[in-house]
Amino acid sequence: MKIAIIGAGSGYLPGVLRGLLHRAGDLAGTELAFHDVDEPHLAVMARLGRNMFAARGAALTVTAHTSLKPALDGAAYVFTTFRPGGMAGRHLDESIPLKHGVVGQETAGPGGFLMACRSVPVLLEIAAAADPGAWIVNYTNPTNVVTDAVLRHTDAKIIGLCDQHVGDTEMWAELLGLPFDRLEADWIGLNHATWATRLRLDGAEVDLPALLEGLDVPGGGATPWRDPSRMAELARALGFLPNSYSKYYFFHDEVVRELREKGTTRAEDIQAMLPAYYAQVAAESGRSDPDPSRERGGGEHGEFAVDTICALHRDENRRMIVNTRNNGAIASLEADAVVEVPALVGRAGPVPLTMGALPRPVRGLTQAIHEYERLAADAAVTGDRRTALQALMAHPFVRSKHTAEKILDEGLAAHRAHLPQFA
Ligand code: G6P
Ligand code: MN
């Protein structure tokens, strides 16, 4: 068995290695082909992996590659976790929309659109170069636009991942005073725009409206990925649970003000801490039993990806929340939409479970985001400027042709080197 990891120099890799260690027994004998264009970071992660596996007696081997083909050749699974344009590109995605009064975010809105335009061509290249029959297991954002582009424009097999639902269920467990490890939420919708109307504790349905009725709205405690006070406020209004990214839709103008006041982008904040982070990982990678403690992404990130590969490979039919074709699972979205939904994952791929309609208060919003995503995927594949403009005009953050044009012109120019399809 061979698994290619594209973007293996990523700061998220230590968590992935931990996930691999966790399932080393199920993956015994596997070759992990690490690929990255950043040679020093690739070398650090390869050494970290080899030493971690050796210390724990895991039968996993690591090869390192800076060109794509040898990494992909013979790989049954291609795990994609790269960021084209790096943090510098992300900074542009986060700052250009903001100049024009629109939330600047790496995956949502015009920032996510620009990232899609950089990610999609690379994914198409990987889809074309991978072995026929290989599964692409994708974390590269925006994961659902990438998944949609690959599904509709290539013959490759792809499953789109995001671990946001794990963190969100954890946050809701805390807010609702329920034990996280006994809780299961059915998050449905689109990546970073999901909603949970159904929640089970030890398999039994929880009376969510009643719980929300008594929910206190706590003040403060917001981090970039958790805004409990706004989430609680929204959940009380909606009567069900929203994904953390819903704050960008329902508090758009307030978030724009806050982002402007903050002064630095998330990309700049991460860039400032990355040198120390990599130095620490590099130091740890040389030890005989490395244990990188300050990993990016948290525990669930890597395990979720490795568990997905195991579910496919071992035909586990495991219930997982993934991005795949709708096929009627969500009644309010078209059949070939890429949705995020609970699915049974086995050798034949994810089989989405029937979830019914989206709740009315967010049905139209989710459908609008879907129309944007469809146009974004097509623009990212074809490089057609008119489709790109339509995508931005369709996005609920934008609502203005002239704003859409300004962001598009500035974004395409700033990212020119990464956008061959628009040349
Ligand atoms: C969450 C999202 C990911 C996103 C990440 C960014 O996990 O689900 O899609 O890439 O946050 O985190 P960062 O630390 O890079 O801001
Ligand atoms: Mn995500």
Distance 246 CA to ligand 2 centre (A): 13
| 223: containing domain | 1-423
Residue with CA nearest ligand 1 atom 5: 297
281 vs 275: CA distance, rounded Å: 10
- Determine the 3-state secondary structure of 163 from DSSP: coil
Q: Which residues are catalytic?
A: 245
In order, the DSSP letters of 112-129 are: HHHHHHHHHHHHHHHHHH
Closest ligand to the CA of 269: 1
Residues with CB under 6 A from ligand 1: 107, 141, 162-164, 224-225, 266, 270
**pLDDT attached to residue 334:** 97
Split into its structural domains, the chain has a count of 1
Out of 80, 107, 147, mutate this one to test ligand 1's pocket (max ligand atoms within 8 Å of CB): namely: 107
Out of 93, 164, 271, mutate this one to test ligand 1's pocket (max ligand atoms within 8 Å of CB): namely: 164
In order, the DSSP letters of 124-156 are: HHHHHHSPTTPEEEE-SSSHHHHHHHHHHHSS-
Distance 321 CA to ligand 1 centre (A): 17
34 vs 12: CA distance, rounded Å: 13
Closest ligand to the CA of 166: 1
**pLDDT attached to residue 298:** 67
**pLDDT attached to residue 291:** 83
Q: How confident is the chain (423 residues) per 10-residue block, as mean pLDDT?
A: 98 94 97 98 97 96 98 98 97 98 98 98 98 98 98 98 96 95 98 98 96 86 86 96 98 97 97 95 92 72 96 98 98 98 98 98 98 98 98 97 98 97 96
- What's the predicted TM-score (pTM) here? 0.97
Burial bucket for residue 177 (CB in 10 Å: 0-12, 13-18, 19+): exposed
Burial bucket for residue 181 (CB in 10 Å: 0-12, 13-18, 19+): exposed
Q: Residue 222 belongs to a domain with what CATH number?
A: 3.90.1820.10
